[in-house]
Structure 1
Amino acid sequence: MAARKTNKNVPLAVDLDGTLIATDLLWEGIFLLLKKNFLFVFLLPIWALQGKARLKHEIAERVTVDAATLPYRPEFLAFLKKEHAEGRRLVLATAAATPFAEAVAKHLGIFDAVYSTDRYRNLASKAKLKMLVEAFGEDGFDYAGNSRADIAIFDEARKAIVVAPDRAVRAWRRKHNPGSDGDAFFAAPRVRFASYLRMLRVHQWMKNTLVFVPAILAHDILYHDVFGRTFLAFISFCAAASSIYIVNDLFDLQLDRRHARKKKRPFASGELPVWFGVCASGALLALAYGVAALLPTEYMLVLTLYLFVTTAYSAALKRMLLIDVLVLAGLYTVRLLAGAAANATPGSFWLLSFSIFFFLSLALVKRYVELRNAPPEENEKLAGRGYLGHDREVIAQSGVASAFGAVMVLALYIDSDSVRTLYAYPWMIWPLCPIVLYINLRIWILAHRDQMHDDPVVFLLSDWRSIMMILLGGVMLMTAGMR
């Protein structure tokens, strides 16, 4: 009981970034700011040159964080709530900007005071230590932290509470011989290898197999040089796509945390830090262009177009009514262009036309499912999108019409001179029309029944009936081409 009374009489200062929450609000603020207006990218270096305090202040003046959805560390938060319930004074002492820190304190309702970074002072490391000593005296406070910047404070605190430590703090803790004076420790969950795969969206790489389609339909894929160049294009596109997926996740952190499934993504959940995502995205982008350098210049141009459009989509276009789905359909078509460009061959008009209609239908399914699954409070407008709840029927009608448009293009292609040149038995390709129609209409029916994954392309590549139909279509194409 004596120890408990001692703790009750000694305030506990708590760090925010990396300690109470499994993220860094400076990084999150940067992406919130760029999402608001990407032109702020030119002001960020200017603010940074004036000091970290100025940078944090300017960002926090322009964006707000949703404190309710931040990835709090549950065990440590439960500990703090218990201490608060027992009457202990808790102080939030953080290098985060004041508006962000106050939002967290207001949401949790357990802190008696907030000390944070203002316009002129970055409250980190020695500056934080000085403030705590002035407020509570030497050895007059306990401190909870996680990073190298907290070591100076640990050394002067009465007790150190280590939460999810970085490498420097782990080394300090081993040297400090924890536990001898009642110091507490809260370990971070181990990052699983699967988290890195989910960060890369490896399951989405199947979409990039579209780069093989032009060579397959031209009957050139079995040539070693054609296959080699196409495979390099596939590797390059996978790296580029993963890079953009990461950036997209970083832009959408707050939206993802409000989503039942997306809140479990590595960055939204705090399993992986935002800075790591920035580094990983840059490395993947370098890999994409490094591989692209081995391919024709046309491929490099198509890859750049893809990256430009996907970045614009993440930053703004995804929130624009109908523009978003047209862009999504276009991005699938760009993959086909990339496959053609990798071998310096022109893209097929028929293939590109079919792709636009087919993938537009799937993009509309994606929005339709999101609207059906939106929580009641978003019935008026889907968060982060340009759609209203009662747009569902128009979206469904447009999607089904687009599916029929794809089949119409396919039928016209089958009856063209191009098919008679490439295939010995063109009549054997006609069943592709009902196959494509079956695949697309089935997706729409399942979406209407609330039985559809919110990414129809992922569903298409995992649903055994759809896979069987795709394989059947492939067999028909191969058979029709035999001479």
Structure 2
Amino acid sequence: MAHTTVTLEQTSSETRCGWFVVDLDGTLVSADLFVERLARLLLHRPWVLFAFLFSGKYSIAGLKTFVARHVPLDAQHLPYRQALLERLRNARTANIKTVLATAAPAAYAHAVAAHLGLFDHVLATTPELNLKSRRKLNAIKQLTDGDAFVYAGDAPCDLPLFKASKGGLLVSDSPQLKAAFKKTAPEGEILPAGADYRTRLKAALRAIRPHQWAKNALILLPAVTGWGLYDVGYAVALFPAIAMFCICSSIVYLMNDMGDVDADRAHPDKRLRPFASGELSVGNGLLLLSGLICTGSLIGWFFLSNVLWLYAIYLAISTAYSAKLKELPTIDAFVLSFLYVARVLIGAEVLGVPYSSWFIIFLAMSFLSLGWLKRYIELYSSEGDLKSRRRGYTKQDEPMILICGIACVFCGVLVLFLYTTAAEMRQVYNHPSWLLFLALPYLYFMLDLWREASLGKVHHDPVRHVMFSPKAYAIVAVSISILFCARFI
């Protein structure tokens, strides 16, 4: 019989048998639930794994049970494959017995079954048995008592089950697995997984968020304020520094998204991110993360050895923010501000450009305001509190955040005035009094940004909004004109 890719309108093979057995990871859901939660445990609470190491139960089944006990599953927002859900509903309508058979921990399998309400039986990994491949087949045969069944799976380890079933159902885009499936189950059917090479490559590119690399232009600020952009030596030094920051940023984004996959799935916008949507598996994400760490280490070793310790501190604080600090009210805003100011400090250190403490304080106030703005937008767009999204704020905090954010804007203006009157400004600018006019475009832009946020017109990442705002570029042009006048007129 010809091997085809089926649609829902075609006759389902499971309706011709008494049992319809469905795998969970990669089949019913486009994710590996155990790997996701193991990564979350490693990123957020790695010390918990010491309890497993000291338990003496060194087995895959034991590790899966241990992880399931410490990291619960939110079955409501998983990336379910709608085509398989429809087949399960049709099977139950036809009085076909449905079974969820998976190598995932039993706690996760029962949570999914309870949420969907589409399964008559659940077979899953226990503390003593990792239910995979032939062990799963034996459990299915024992349950069905030798009756014919149709099995839906997605991996090479499922080939023995396809061979034993009466018309398997493969969920995969792998040409090699499809070829093996054709030989094993000639009458089987194929459902596209939507995870071919190009799809995964695009998802990986989205996961490292290259559009966020624009934030690393802050490294240029010391060169801009010191009028050193024309220096070729600066350009040579800046290239590896910016590349290193782009890699560090992507590392943090990957760890953040892999650790927050459950919270992202419950978010109206973030659920479309590669890991949350299932376009990119956490396993592939860990491989991508390893590659970025190796690349960053090589760049740092050969080009930035004198400031590598600064990047290490930045990466450590960023990791701590993703793991825990983002959950601590007020502290999270200060950490966000520091992470942006750190880009400027490292840029100045790489270039050897002197910087004013007033300038750093001004930047800290500005980014602290943007940090508060980020939380304000999240609260404004949410229906309740943000604790489910690993944020420590509630709706009652909204007025306080608004006051703190706008207060930081005016503190920034005050510091800007003090900065322009500092003695070191006369070493760079002929007429530093011109710099007082910088307060006008700055104050207008920041207050207008808060006004737009209160109207729901600002992206949940305000720094990204600023980076891609035409109004921001107009303000930058005006500010550069003022700097030019202060230096040359």
The TM-score by the shorter chain falls in which range? Answer: over 0.9
Query: Which segment is superposed worse, 109-118 or 347-356?
Result: 347-356
What is the aligned partner in structure 2 of residue 269 from structure 1?
Answer: 277
What is the aligned partner in structure 1 of residue 433 from structure 2?
Answer: 427
Is 1:354 matched up with 2:362? yes
- Structure 2: how far apart are the matches of 1:118 and 1:346? 62
- Structure 2: how far apart are the matches of 1:409 and 1:114? 64
Residue identity in the other structure for 1:435: P
- Structure 2: how far apart are the matches of 1:389 and 1:381? 11
Specify whether residues 71 and 44 from structure 1 end up closer, same or farther in structure 2 by C-alpha distance, changes over 3 A only.
farther
What is the aligned partner in structure 1 of residue 447 from structure 2?
Answer: 441
- Structure 2: how far apart are the matches of 1:280 and 1:346? 37
Residue identity in the other structure for 1:396: L
Aligned partner of residue 65 in structure 1, secondary structure:
coil
Q: CA deviation at 1:381?
A: 5.3
Specify whether residues 213 and 6 from structure 1 end up closer, same or farther in structure 2 by C-alpha distance, changes over 3 A only.
closer
Specify whether residues 216 and 109 from structure 1 end up closer, same or farther in structure 2 by C-alpha distance, changes over 3 A only.
same
Q: CA deviation at 1:429?
A: 2.3
- Structure 2: how far apart are the matches of 1:340 and 1:443? 28
Question: What are the equivalent positions in structure 2 for 1:79-98 lying under 5 Å apart?
Answer: 79-98=87-106
Q: CA deviation at 1:335?
A: 0.7
Specify whether residues 482 and 41 from structure 1 end up closer, same or farther in structure 2 by C-alpha distance, changes over 3 A only.
farther
What is the aligned partner in structure 1 of residue 239 from structure 2?
Answer: 231
Is 1:110 matched up with 2:118? yes
What is the aligned partner in structure 2 of residue 205 from structure 1?
Answer: 213
Aligned partner of residue 302 in structure 2, secondary structure:
coil
- Structure 1: how far apart are the matches of 2:221 and 2:12? 69
Tell me which of the two structures has the higher relative contact order, counting C-alpha pairs closer than 8 angstroms and 6 or more residues apart.
2
Q: CA deviation at 1:432?
A: 1.1
Question: What are the equivalent positions in structure 2 for 1:74-473 lying under 5 Å apart?
Answer: 74-137=82-145, 140-166=148-174, 168-176=176-184, 178=186, 181=187, 183-190=188-195, 191=199, 194-345=202-353, 347-375=355-383, 378-379=384-385, 383-473=389-479
Specify whether residues 55 and 476 from structure 1 end up closer, same or farther in structure 2 by C-alpha distance, changes over 3 A only.
same
Question: Is the contact between residue 298 and residue 341 of structure 1 (CA under 8 Å) also seen in structure 2?
Answer: no
Q: CA deviation at 1:46?
A: 6.3
Q: CA deviation at 1:19?
A: 0.4
Specify whether residues 291 and 381 from structure 1 end up closer, same or farther in structure 2 by C-alpha distance, changes over 3 A only.
closer
Is 1:29 matched up with 2:37? yes
Specify whether residues 337 and 294 from structure 1 end up closer, same or farther in structure 2 by C-alpha distance, changes over 3 A only.
farther
Q: CA RMSD in A?
A: 2.2
Question: Is the contact between residue 151 and residue 169 of structure 1 (CA under 8 Å) also seen in structure 2?
Answer: no
Residue identity in the other structure for 1:453: H
- Structure 2: how far apart are the matches of 1:146 and 1:46? 34
Residue identity in the other structure for 2:368: L
Residue identity in the other structure for 1:355: L
- Structure 1: how far apart are the matches of 2:53 and 2:216? 35
Residue identity in the other structure for 1:481: R
Residue identity in the other structure for 2:191: F
- Structure 2: how far apart are the matches of 1:424 and 1:317? 44
Specify whether residues 416 and 283 from structure 1 end up closer, same or farther in structure 2 by C-alpha distance, changes over 3 A only.
same
1:190-229 CA deviation, whole Å, 9 max, x = no partner? 5165433321111111111111111222222322222111
Q: CA deviation at 1:5?
A: 9.9
- Structure 2: how far apart are the matches of 1:234 and 1:84? 57
What is the aligned partner in structure 2 of residue 52 from structure 1?
Answer: 60
- Structure 2: how far apart are the matches of 1:130 and 1:414? 78
Residue identity in the other structure for 2:420: I
Question: Is the contact between residue 47 and residue 54 of structure 1 (CA under 8 Å) also seen in structure 2?
Answer: no
Structure 2 spans left out of the alignment, 5+ residues: 1-10
- Structure 1: how far apart are the matches of 2:365 and 2:44? 32
- Structure 1: how far apart are the matches of 2:37 and 2:289? 18
Q: CA deviation at 1:26?
A: 0.9
1:59-84 CA deviation, whole Å, 9 max, x = no partner? 11122100010111111221222212
Identity between Structure 1 and Structure 2 (%): 33
Question: Is the contact between residue 368 and residue 405 of structure 2 (CA under 8 Å) also seen in structure 1?
Answer: yes
Question: Is the contact between residue 133 and residue 157 of structure 2 (CA under 8 Å) also seen in structure 1?
Answer: yes
- Structure 2: how far apart are the matches of 1:75 and 1:268? 19
- Structure 2: how far apart are the matches of 1:294 and 1:89? 62
Question: Is the contact between residue 14 and residue 20 of structure 1 (CA under 8 Å) also seen in structure 2?
Answer: yes
- Structure 2: how far apart are the matches of 1:176 and 1:271? 27
Aligned residues: 476
1:157-185 CA deviation, whole Å, 9 max, x = no partner? 1211011354542231344574xx3x222
Question: Is the contact between residue 295 and residue 342 of structure 1 (CA under 8 Å) also seen in structure 2?
Answer: no
Q: CA deviation at 1:239?
A: 0.7
1:15-57 CA deviation, whole Å, 9 max, x = no partner? 1000000000111221343466331244566679711101001
1:70-117 CA deviation, whole Å, 9 max, x = no partner? 111111221222212221111000000000000000111111100000
Question: Is the contact between residue 148 and residue 168 of structure 1 (CA under 8 Å) also seen in structure 2?
Answer: no
- Structure 2: how far apart are the matches of 1:233 and 1:429? 29
Query: Which segment is superposed worse, 14-23 or 71-80?
Result: 71-80
Aligned partner of residue 221 in structure 1, secondary structure:
coil
Residue identity in the other structure for 2:94: E
1:238-287 CA deviation, whole Å, 9 max, x = no partner? 01110110100011111111111000000000011111111111211222
Question: Is the contact between residue 298 and residue 344 of structure 1 (CA under 8 Å) also seen in structure 2?
Answer: no
1:412-464 CA deviation, whole Å, 9 max, x = no partner? 11111222110123233222111111111111111111221111111111221
- Structure 2: how far apart are the matches of 1:363 and 1:434? 22
Residue identity in the other structure for 2:172: A
Residue identity in the other structure for 2:222: P
1:308-340 CA deviation, whole Å, 9 max, x = no partner? 001101111000010101000000011111112
Question: Is the contact between residue 238 and residue 350 of structure 2 (CA under 8 Å) also seen in structure 1?
Answer: yes
Structure 1 spans left out of the alignment, 5+ residues: none
Specify whether residues 48 and 449 from structure 1 end up closer, same or farther in structure 2 by C-alpha distance, changes over 3 A only.
farther
Specify whether residues 430 and 247 from structure 1 end up closer, same or farther in structure 2 by C-alpha distance, changes over 3 A only.
same
- Structure 1: how far apart are the matches of 2:22 and 2:340? 48
